[in-house]
Amino acid sequence: MTGTPVRTLLLWCPDWPVIAAEIVDGVPATGPVAVLHANRVVACSEQARAEGVRRGLRRREAQGRCPQLTVVDHDPGRDARAFEPVVAAVEEVVAGVEVVRPGACAVAARGPSRYLGGEEAAAERIVEQVAQACAVESQVGIADGVFAAGLAARAGRVVPPGGTPEFLTGLPVEALGRPALADLLRRLGVRTLGDFAALPAGDVLARFGLDGALAHRLAAGRDDRPLAVRQPPVDLAVTADHDEPLDRVDAAAFAARALAERLHDRLAAHGLACTRLGIEAVTAHGQELHRVWRHDGLLTAAAIADRVRWQLDGWLSGSTGRAGARPARPTAGIVRLRLVPDGVLAQAGLQPGLWGETGEERERAHRALSRVQGILGPEAVVTAVLGGGRSPADQTHLVPWGDERIPARPGPPALPGEPALGADRAAGGPAGAGPAAGGSAAGRSAGAGRAGGGGSAVPPWPGRLPPPAPAVVLPTPLTATVHDAAGEPVVVSARLTVSAAPARLAVGTARPVEIVGWAGPWPVDERWWAPAEARRRARFQVCLADGAALLLAVEAGQWLVEAIYD
């Protein structure tokens, strides 16, 4: 959090959702218009307000007050798209613009005021620029901090430096934009921002939590964060057109090296480096080819040239892959080659390793994987991504090398030190198998989309296995048999009662091995509400006499080996 708020100039476009609907969908904003979300009014036009329509009204009540009301659905994407030309118009006058939300943008006031002859002159110049370029009416407010500047913009005021706390003092608590907090404060007798700011910060944090503490800072004229300015995008891509189509690998590689050097020089001129490279090609017949290459480290000119050459080799030569598979060659030679730096960051933004530049110790492996992928295709090289799930197989997802590593199931995998549920049934449990797996032994496990206590958006996955994770997850579980000391099969009842202590395990047709330690059972009852997809099983961890530690599951009376611990 910042100690001293930055002097801020904020541009505000009144009733922006209504204006955006007029710009994008042609809805006349001069008439009575209301934008609705969840059946409530979130914005309305001036004519609608004159008829009694207000924010927060239900649709039926708003239409009852104004029968000729035009109703428009709320679309944040539409609001953002329509606001982009306004931001671009502001950037023609000043630099370092932050988009607060669609309809409002902010900039540090010091630079524009010095360049344009004062704060009021800067505000007039920006309003005029937006009106001329976009035909949009706007208001500007200037104060210490983004929050105060936003309130000043609604009144079209320029608050003197240092006068922000006084400006905020008389405003109602509803100005915080937190209806629930404002309602509670009013019931406690706190009606203005000045009254709220006068409360001790420690008491506010204890009574209202972190969000209340942030609101308390805003009421006192202190912002909770500095301006995060938007940098205008720079076109860094390089393109080369060829009159003669490139249909030979050596000719294409020669052209690619010159293009790679141009890209590297352009990035260096802006103090940037590339970690992800997009390679685009267009053939003489109009066929478009595209591939993205990722690199763990800074892509040098030579590294860029290598990746372009490998990709062109894969496209033009059609090298034979696994089992004789041959990628389809382009229908004609390449007439346009374009390199797009898709992953760009400051050149000093990567931390060097202890023994050299970032990723240098893994460069050979990465080059080999990238080259194989360029020849055989993106699906030929895959890496594992961990995500949410209750079993090791659910938590692991394979993605092509270089693709975005998005888990197949939301939620993080089990974290180190996470407490395990259940109790070991043998002294010490399965040595080497880690803590007892966590499964709720009382009732069904929560569904995949259900959030845990506290309203978290990430599924908690109750019943998942805690660390350490198994070293090997079998793609297809192996069938097994488990017997007790008397040679009878071990059975788990519907009430999770084990018929006898497991004594021997036989995997497939192999000889039985003595079980020296075991833990479980822990149930998993998934998708019980969908009979066609329902799955109910109980899991065990066992340690064998030969030192192996396994994760077992029993489902429909059949024992399975799901994973092996190291």
Distances in Å between the Cα of 396 and the Cα atoms of 392, 399, 408, 417 are 6, 10, 8, 20
Q: What is the pLDDT of residues 348-375, one digit of tens each?
A: 444 444 444 444 555 667 667 777 776 7
Distances in Å between the Cα of 226 and the Cα atoms of 8, 132, 229, 434 are 10, 30, 9, 46
Within its chain, how far is the Cα of 140 from the centroid? 33
Task: Identify which of 205, 179, 186 has the alpha carbon closest to the alpha carbon of residue 1.
Answer: 205
Q: CA 358, CA 449: separation in Å to the nearest integer?
A: 38
Cα maximum dimension of the chain: 96
DSSP codes, 201-260: HHHHHHHHHHHHHHHHHHHTT--SS---PBPPP----EEEEEEEEE-SHHHHHHHHHHHH
442's enclosing H/E stretch is: none
Q: Which tokens in the block code for residue 341?
A: 């730096």
**Residue 149 has what DSSP assignment?**
H
Rounded to the nearest 10°, the torsion over CA 200, 201, 204, 205 is -150
Q: CA 110, CA 144: separation in Å to the nearest integer?
A: 11
Pick left, alpha or beta for residue 155 (phi over 0 → left; psi -120 to 50 → alpha; otherwise beta).
alpha
pLDDT tens string for the chain (566 positions)?
Answer: 445 788 999 999 999 999 999 998 898 989 999 999 988 999 999 999 999 999 889 998 999 999 999 999 999 888 988 898 898 889 888 888 888 888 999 998 888 888 889 999 999 999 999 999 899 999 999 999 889 999 999 989 999 998 999 999 999 999 998 889 999 999 999 999 999 999 998 999 889 888 888 899 999 888 766 665 555 556 788 888 888 888 887 788 788 888 888 888 888 777 777 777 888 888 888 888 877 776 655 677 777 888 787 777 777 765 444 344 444 677 788 888 888 887 676 654 444 444 444 445 556 676 677 777 767 777 788 888 887 777 777 778 788 876 667 777 776 554 443 433 333 333 333 333 343 333 333 333 333 333 334 444 556 677 777 777 788 888 888 999 999 988 899 998 888 888 899 999 998 888 889 999 988 888 888 888 888 878 888 889 899 998 889 999 998 889 999 889 87
Q: What is the pLDDT of residues 490-544, one digit of tens each?
A: 998 888 888 899 999 998 888 889 999 988 888 888 888 888 878 888 889 899 9
Q: CA 444, CA 448: separation in Å to the nearest integer?
A: 12
The answer to whether residues 122 and 116 touch, using CB atoms and an 8 Å cutoff, is yes
Our CA angle for 469, 474, 478, nearest 5°, is: 125
Q: CA 468, CA 36: separation in Å to the nearest integer?
A: 50
> Rounded to a whole number, what is the distance in angstroms from the first to the last CA of the chain?
46
pLDDT value of position 446: 35
Bridge partners of 424, per DSSP, are 519
Domains and CATH numbers, the chain: 1-232 (3.30.70.270), 238-319+330-346 (3.30.1490.100), 472-564 (no CATH)
Task: Give pTM, 2 decimals.
Answer: 0.46
